[in-house]
Amino acid sequence: MLKQTTTRERVTQLTHEIKSHSEPFRRIVDQVSQVLVGQEKLVHRMLVGLLANGHLLIEGVPGLAKTTAVASLAKAINTGFQRLQFTPDLLPADLVGTQVYRPQDQTFVVQKGPIFSNLILADEINRAPAKVQSALLEAMQERQVTIGGETFPLDNPFLVMATQNPVEQEGTYRLPEAQTDRFMLKVIVDYPNRDEELQILERMSKTAAKFDVQPVTSPAEILAARELVDQIYVDSKVKNYVVDLVMATRNPESYGMNLSEFIQFGGSPRATINLTLAAKANAFLAGRGYVTPADVKEIALDVLRHRVMVTYEAEAEERTSESIVMEILNHVQAP
């Protein structure tokens, strides 16, 4: 009983701290919403990735303000931002940098590439060849870059937001599973509704439409918020719920679902870790010092949709990884 009281008091105190430290993130939303219309989910997921130290894969057709969203976020945080346009002829050196020979000194000097920034927008990532993708993979996973045998740590915070076009596949390279698994979230950006479309028209139909996003927080506040995210309480029932969701993607029969013929590979242990971290970040943004099952369920589809590999049988029956994850979410009982 004493232990429960102590935990309750600690969670209450943490909630008070989070309410004050989450205020800058509400200001970020206000600033970004001055530019974006109807992309609340995308903005929320970007903040989740920022708080949970995880990368985002953003999928949507061209023209849905994916680039604008990331650029606006960087301005609101007052941090470094680099947009990298991925093309089939891109080289790893174009991304991470290279060694340049200086004849006057007869020495090689490291010239760092655009990856050395805080927020990286990897536009149309699936247009880059395998060597470039592997160079980005080291930066995403290890938070470091190797140039000419020398290793350089990347700035902190460091967040990659990669976009890909789901329609046009000519001249693209399929992202390998090892790379997609490095993304904490895969966010699908859809078309705006009619009212949002009208608002976009009224706001942006100018030859020089310009909106100034004011910096409302700093990288130091982001890092301080991450320390609080790490302290957020996760009850054992919620932990078991997270594990059950991921295990159900591997062994659906154990949970009473006949999905084995549709699932080639389920979520890895990284999915369990990322789902927990994302749920903690979700709780932080809600101003709470504890995670609820609703936090897990709200973010689970974005964490799992790119980690469940479907079989040919699933494709023949037009079953997608997203529909399978939704079926698991609806079937596995939340505490």
DSSP string, 194-254: HHHHHHHHHHH-STT---PPPP---HHHHHHHHHHHHH-B--HHHHHHHHHHHHHHH-GGG
* Residue 120, helix vs strand vs coil: strand
Residue 276 lies inside a defined structural domain of this protein: yes
Q: Out of 199, 216, 249, pick the residue that ends a domain.
A: 199
Residue 218 lies inside a defined structural domain of this protein: no
Q: Are strands 97-102 and 144-147 parallel, antiparallel or unpaired?
A: unpaired
Residues 181 and 291 in one domain: no
Neighbours of 292 (CB within 10 A): 18
For 301, which DSSP code? H
Q: Using one digit for the tens of pLDDT, what is the confidence trace for 302-325?
A: 999 999 988 898 888 888 899 999
Residue 163 lies inside a defined structural domain of this protein: yes
Residue 94 lies inside a defined structural domain of this protein: yes
Question: Domain residues for 243?
Answer: 232-331
Residue 8 lies inside a defined structural domain of this protein: no
Residues 66 and 191 in one domain: yes
| Count of helix runs (H) and strand runs (E) in the chain | 14, 11
Contact between 289 and 233 under an 8 Å Cβ cutoff? The reply is yes
Residue 309 lies inside a defined structural domain of this protein: yes
* pLDDT band for position 172 (cuts 50, 70, 90): low
In the chain, what percentage of residues exceed pLDDT 70? 95
* pLDDT band for position 209 (cuts 50, 70, 90): low
CA distances from 278 to 70, 154, 183, 221, 232 (A): 19, 22, 12, 18, 11
Residues 265 and 150 in one domain: no
Residues 95 and 138 in one domain: yes
Residues 238 and 113 in one domain: no
Residues 194 and 250 in one domain: no
Q: Using one digit for the tens of pLDDT, what is the confidence trace for 119-159?
A: 888 888 888 887 888 888 878 888 888 887 788 888 888 88
Residues 79 and 171 in one domain: yes
- Computed over every residue of the chain, the mean pLDDT equals 86
CA distances from 109 to 97, 138, 146, 254 (A): 11, 22, 14, 57
Q: Which of 333, 328, 179 is nearest to 250 (CA)?
A: 328
- Cα–Cα–Cα angle for 82, 83, 85, nearest 5°? 145
Q: Which of 109, 111, 118, 108 is nearest to 139 (CA)?
A: 118
Residues 313 and 195 in one domain: no
Q: Using one digit for the tens of pLDDT, what is the confidence trace for 244-253?
A: 999 999 999 9
Q: Out of 199, 219, 245, pick the residue that ends a domain.
A: 199
The residue count of the chain comes to 335
Residues 184 and 256 in one domain: no
Residue 179 lies inside a defined structural domain of this protein: yes
* Residue that has been written with the tokens 């894969």 in this structure: 57
Residue 23 lies inside a defined structural domain of this protein: no
DSSP string, 121-176: EEETGGGS-HHHHHHHHHHHHHSEEEETTEEEEPPSS-EEEEEE-SS--TT--PPP
Nearest-angstrom CA–CA distance, 206 and 211: 12
Q: What is the CATH number of the domain that holds 161?
A: 3.40.50.300
Residues 172 and 111 in one domain: yes
Q: Please tell me the total count of domains within the chain.
A: 2
Q: What is the CATH number of the domain that holds 294?
A: 1.10.8.80
The pTM of the full predicted model, rounded to 2 decimals, is 0.89
Residues 179 and 262 in one domain: no
DSSP-assigned beta bridge partners for residue 123: 85
